[in-house]
Structure 1
């Protein structure tokens, strides 16, 4: 899988619709706490820096 160029991705202010669309396909977004537990070898993954 290739990561898209960030300049081609529009930021999403409200991810509600994206989350709903993903959920309809069985995709679940992890909270920062769940990510920390699931991916301990990647500290800081999923953490917002803003």
Structure 2
């Protein structure tokens, strides 16, 4: 009984960790795209 509860708990932790990592990767992609746009925008400002 104790073992089953433990595996369920570790399963939840694993799922949560994977979810967190996926969210971090997803957010990083969005941030990279945003910063890229801002970077291009500031480059254009420098040219003019």
User: Taking structure 2 as the reference length, what is the TM-score of the superposition?
Assistant: 0.28
Q: Which structure has the larger Rg?
A: 2
Structure with the larger RCO, 1 or 2 (CA within 8 Å, 6+ apart): 1
User: Taking structure 1 as the reference length, what is the TM-score of the superposition?
Assistant: 0.27
